[in-house]
Amino acid sequence: MSPYGRLEIYWPEGPVESFVLAKEAVAIGRQSGNDLVLDRKGVSRYHVTIRAENNQVVLEDLESVNGVYVDSLRMKPGERRVLRGGEEIQIADVRMVVRVFDSLEDTVPTEAADNIVDLENEYVMVHFTGPDMVAVPGADVKAALILENVSNDTQRYRIQIQGVPREWLRLDRTEIQLASGAQTEVVASFKPLRRSDTKPGHYPLSVTIETLDHSESDLHIESQLKVGAFGGFGMVMATEIIQGKEPFKLYVHNQGNAPLTVSFRGVDPTGSLNCVVSPRVVTLQGGERQTIEGRVTPLKGTLIGKAHEYKYDIIALSHDASSFQAAVPGRYFAKPLLPSWAATLAVPLVAIAAIGLVVLVAFLLGGGDEDNAENQVVPAILAFTASQSEVVLGEPVQLTWEVQDVRNVTITHVRPGQSPQTITVDDPSASAYQLLLQTTGRYDITLNVENTGGMQSEVLSVSVKPAIAEFSSNPTTLIQNVTQPVDFVWNVRGMAEVNGQPQIFLQSKELPDIEAVKPSGSGLSRYMIFPAGPVSVTLRVMGQDNTENSRTLAIAVVEPRCLLSNPEGKIYTGPNINYDSVGVFTDIGTVINPIVRNQENTWLQIVYEGQPAWVRIADFQCEGFRPEQLNVAANVPPTPTLLPTSTPTLTQTATTEPPTATRTRRPSSTPRPQMTPTPSGQ
């Protein structure tokens, strides 16, 4: 079967996984036989199924013990619900975002001309693959750039992407250095925030590739990111208990980013009440809140007897493809006109009749109304803010508010999949509270205010990131072009773990290989580093609910130094004395800055008068490193071959002085030649 959707799975420990829906029925639960196994506390053995049927994607609760929540609303046991895409499913402490494919082409990266772009200039060749799927807020899609240096020299490039909010975009690298002919890939991840102000639609993207040493040669690519819609609905009963003619108030909130039409009706299990809701149908824009009012009255009044409590539900029904239902309970307290002991009183019939007449008139006019002005006053929240929307673990959040007509104030905070915690503010007239959250994660913080007239609530969100108390390196200074050990030391709090593995990472643009080695959770890890220039290393720590904190450490890099120890340090064009000599160092203590060494570790390459040159290692003492820690030179010119020289023939010439014969020494077995002087002048 062709894929018809996917789940973006957000584990509470931090990582995100993608699960493709490609079976007609996908089983999800704790048992190993499920298609998607959630081995978590609170997950039933067979919790839910997701099915593709009748051109729809349907979620079914398999009567799970702890239930399943869709956009914060709990499904009934055995309930089936159509998924349109963008819904947030919560099972125990695992959060999943649903994506429903419109067609098969929506399941894999497309090869459309407007999605793939190839550009080239004299310095770089670029292959760009744009975002290939609709980005549902809360889930991510990716784009990729493949860069190849087509010049003859090493080049540095910078990549920039504009057109979406910065918090949506993450580039794994922004600056790259490539040798001639080298190639690399840069990945861009787009993750629109799951907020009601994230509007669905097309967002134009502008991608710029700069060649840093040749600013006139920038390449520009135009693409687009398609952001989809997601749903969410919240509803709370402000006046849980009412009596007499008092109206109930219902606060509703479209938590999604697209318009949502909802209708309301009242249901009384005993059939004893009449419920009227106004307005009965509303259309809420993304993020919009409204107040719904209504009245509940008994179908029959009670003249004498005990007070009676009726229970009822207000049900909301969405008018979209999901057709979800949500319900909130309420209670109506009905008092009789006369207490039960009134029937035992012996009173004159006339008095009884008179009283009965008065009572009857009051009853017909809607008796039982013991409302007063205070009951009609609903508390109001004029403002509710947090000092910061993001704090590190151990840092308090200062909450401030402005309210009216309040008797009680409470603050509730909760993380996804966790039980809410409620704090009672001792002084209802207070306007601030300092809240210290004990774990990392993304919290919804609710201010609840109430009086006898009802209750009001306001919600805001705060993220708590892991705390990084220390991040340092030993040594603090590195030597350029030298392979050397470096210890990275850190002290963090609030780090999440996945399957026992600490969620902590080291990243560096200058040292890409550092990312291949997972740091330990102990606070100390050693790496072998070969810095070609200044180095910066970033420590990333993941907390609960995908919260993240990072700190970047800049490490100074100095040139390697070797000091002349031989007063005749000759300089050659290659690593052998058979090469041409181009100079000599004579002053003891002369400093050189080696670049590489030869394979045999006997010569060092330097720059002498602007040209590559070589000196003998034996003539120098290096500071802080051993020559063998340098890289081996890749391109060494061939060693020149010396041509044999011929022996000149000796001719004897007689002079006035006794002639001196020059003899050539030969092996003793060969007789010496006789030397015959030649008289001068002949």
Q: What is the pLDDT of residue 653?
A: 45
Edge-to-edge strands, sheet with 141-149: 116-120, 124-129, 141-149, 183-190, 169-171
Instruction: Please count the structural domains in the chain.
Output: 6
Domain assignment present for 351: no
Instruction: Give percent of the chain with pLDDT exceeding 90.
Output: 39
Which of the four pLDDT bands, split at 50, 70 and 90, describes residue 133?
confident
Rounded Cα–Cα distance for residues 436 and 441 (Å):
13
Mean of per-residue pLDDT scores for the chain: 82
Residues 453 and 506 in one domain: no
Q: Please indicate, yes or no, whether residues 223 and 120 belong to a single structural domain of this protein.
A: yes
Using the predicted structure, report yes or no on whether residue 30 has a pLDDT greater than 90.
yes
CA angle 460, 294, 358 (to 5 degrees): 135
Q: Which of 517, 541, 558 is the last residue of a domain?
A: 558
What is the pLDDT confidence band of residue 114, given thresholds at 50, 70 and 90? low
Residues 138 and 184 in one domain: yes
Cα gap 424→413, rounded to integer Å: 12
Task: Tell me which residue range forms the domain holding 243.
Answer: 233-334
Find the length of the chain: 682
Answer whether residue 589 is part of any domain: yes
Distance CA 327, CA 3 (A): 34
Q: What is the pLDDT of residue 238?
A: 85
The confidence score (pLDDT) of residue 381 equals 87
Cβ–Cβ < 8 Å for 476, 430 = no
Q: What is the pLDDT of residue 8?
A: 85
**Domain identity same for 171 and 87:** no
User: CB of 528 within 8 A of CB of 429?
Assistant: no
What are the backbone dihedrals phi and psi of residue 410, each rounded to the nearest 5 degrees, phi first? -130, 155
* Rounded average pLDDT over 618-632: 93
Lowest mean pLDDT among 121-130, 204-213, 469-478, 499-508: 499-508
Same domain, 237 and 253: yes
Q: Please report the pLDDT score of residue 673 as a whole number.
A: 37
Has residue 166 got a pLDDT over 50? yes
| One domain for residues 550 and 476 | yes
Query: Higher pLDDT residue, 269 or 109?
Result: 269
Of 465, 499, 515, which one is at a domain's C-terminal end? 465
257 occurs within a structural domain = yes
Rounded CA gap, 115 and 460, in Å? Answer: 38
pLDDT band of residue 667 (cuts 50, 70, 90) is: very low
Q: Is the pLDDT of residue 678 over 50?
A: no
What pLDDT shows up at residue 355?
64
Confidence at residue 172, expressed as pLDDT on a 0 to 100 scale: 85
The neighbouring-strand residues paired with 491 are 470
Helices (H), 234-372: 349-364
Residue of 665 and 313 predicted with greater confidence: 313
452 and 477 assigned to the same domain:
no
Tell me whether residue 34 is in a domain: yes
Domain contains 64: yes
Average pLDDT in the 148-156 region? 93
Q: Which of 55-64, 298-307, 393-402 has the lowest mean pLDDT?
A: 298-307
Is 672 contained in some domain?
Answer: no
Residue 17 shares a structural domain with residue 79: yes
**CATH number reported for the structural domain that contains residue 72 in this entry:** 2.60.200.20
Of the pLDDT bands very low, low, confident and very high (cuts 50, 70, 90), residue 142 is confident
Would you say residue 44 has pLDDT above 90?
yes
pTM of the model: 0.43
DSSP 597: B
pLDDT confidence of 207, banded at 50, 70, 90?
Answer: very high
Taking alpha carbons only, the member of 620, 592, 618, 626 closest to residue 606 is 592
Instruction: State whether 446 and 479 are in the same domain.
Output: no
SS3 182: coil
Which residue in 262, 357, 277 sits closest to 313, CA to CA? 277
Predicted pLDDT at 333: 85
Q: Flag whether 645 is in a domain.
A: no
Predicted local distance difference test score (pLDDT) of residue 361: 54
Lowest average pLDDT, out of 193-202, 465-474, 565-574, goes to 193-202
Confidence bin at 344 (pLDDT 50/70/90)? low
Indicate if 500 and 575 belong to the same structural domain: no
Separation in Å, CA 655 to CA 337, 652, 662, 681: 163, 10, 15, 9
The pLDDT of residue 545 is 87
| pLDDT at position 515 over 80 | no
> Does residue 181 surpass a pLDDT of 60?
yes
CATH number of residue 301's parent domain: 2.60.40.2310
Q: State residue 356's pLDDT score.
A: 63
Residue 205 has pLDDT above 80, yes or no: yes
Which of 558, 593, 608 is at the close of a domain? 558
Give the mean pLDDT of 658-667.
Answer: 41
pLDDT > 70: what percent of the chain? 83
> Diameter of the chain by CA atoms?
185
Q: How far is Cα 244 from Cα 268, in angstroms, rounded to an integer?
A: 17
CATH for 489:
2.60.40.10
Q: Which pLDDT band, with edges at 50, 70 and 90, does 243 fall under?
A: confident
Q: Which helix (H) or strand (E) holds 6?
A: strand 5-10
CATH number at 569 reads: 2.30.30.40
Give the DSSP H/E element, type plus range, for residue 90: strand 88-91
* 188 against 319, higher pLDDT: 188
pLDDT above 90: residue 215 = no
Tell whether 216 and 132 lie within a shared domain.
yes
3-state secondary structure (DSSP) of residue 105: helix
| Better pLDDT: 85 or 607 | 607
Three-state secondary structure string covering 209-223: EEECCCHHHCEEEEE
Question: Is residue 81 located within the same domain as residue 34?
Answer: yes
Query: Given the structure tokens 């390449």, which residue do they identify?
Result: 219
DSSP three-state, residue 181: coil
d(CA 17, CA 11): 8
CA distance 472 to 554: 9
Q: Is 105 inside any structural domain?
A: no
Q: Which two tokens stand for residue 104?
A: 């098969």
